């Protein structure tokens, strides 16, 4: 799970604490700590679970 200060690559990341989203547009960008002070993120996107609505 990417943490604040790390450079996990381009994409949208969601705070594990509050669900706020931030987008990294460059490979060289680092994740910033969330306004809620959360420091762990998950990458947004990927495959939907089987049976999930569109």
3 within some domain? no
52 within some domain? no
> Residue 23 is part of which domain span?
11-43
Measured CA distances, 50 to 14, 34, 47, 54 (Å): 21, 30, 9, 11
Going residue by residue through the chain, which has 54 residues, state the pLDDT in tens, using 9 for 90 and above: 999 999 999 999 999 999 999 999 999 999 999 999 999 999 998 555 555 455
Q: How many domains does the chain have?
A: 1
* Sequence-distant (≥ 6) Cβ neighbours of residue 36 within 8 angstroms: 15, 17, 18, 20
28 within some domain? yes
48 within some domain? no
**pTM, 2 dp:** 0.78
51 within some domain? no
**Would you say 11 and 43 are in contact if contact means Cβ atoms under 8 Å apart?**
yes
């Amino acid at each position: 799970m990417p943490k604040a200060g790390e450079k996990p690559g381009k994409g949208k990341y969601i705070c594990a604490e509050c669900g706020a989203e931030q987008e990294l547009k460059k490979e060289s960008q680092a994740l910033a700590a969330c306004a809620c002070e959360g420091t762990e993120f998950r990458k947004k996107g990927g495959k939907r679970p089987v049976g999930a609505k569109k």
